[in-house]
Amino acid sequence: MDNCIFCKIAAKQIPSKSVYEDEELIAFHDINPASPVHILIVPKQHIATLSECNEKHAAMLGRMMVLAPRLAAELGCGYEGDGAGKGSGGFKTQFNTGPDGGQEVYHLHLHVMGGPRPWRGQR
């Protein structure tokens, strides 16, 4: 896709602070972080929004979700607890879709935002 910033990052035409790459996905630090740890998990294939996804994308979306806690842990904001609300750490995962969803870059991406709750009282 011409003129798509995340396609250009995936093709390494634009630099990014990469944290992960495989045949299907890349992950890199957000250029304007909203939290102490803020990364984006992005498919290499150009898909504009979550609304363009269908059953064919289910496995890839699942891989994006499964990657989120793994990378959060590697970056020091994983959730460690008893699975019942006790414990420490943690992160938000977020897909923004369309103008009312606050989407700015129209290439599918999953935000992973961690650290000590910087959004408290803000969003």
Please list the active-site residues.
109
Other CB atoms within 10 Å distance of the CB of residue 10: 22
At 77, the amino acid letter reads: C
Contacting Zn ion (CB under 5 A), which of 107, 108, 110, 111? 107
* Burial readout 18-34 (b: 16 or more C-beta within 10 A, e: otherwise): ebeeeeebbbbebeeee
Query: Residue holding tokens 């102490």?
Result: 36
Q: Residue 32 or residue 122: which is nearer to ligand 5GP going by CB? A: 32
* Shortest Å, Cβ 84 to ligand 5GP: 31
Q: Evaluate whether 87 touches 107 at the Cβ level (below 8 Å).
A: no
Q: Residue 16 or residue 77: which is nearer to ligand 5GP going by CB? A: 16
Residues of this chain that bind ligand 5GP (CB under 6 A): 5, 16, 28-32, 40, 96, 102-105
* Shortest Å, Cβ 83 to Zn ion: 36
Q: 113: which 2 tokens? A: 């935002």
Q: Which helix (H) or strand (E) holds 62?
A: helix 58-74
107 makes contact, choosing from ligand 5GP, Zn ion, none, with CB < 5 to 8 Å by partner type, with Zn ion
Q: Which stretch binds Zn ion (CB under 5 A): 5-13, 31-39, 72-80, 86-94?
A: 5-13
Please report, as ranges, the residues that interact with Zn ion according to CB under 5 A: 1, 4, 6-7, 46, 107
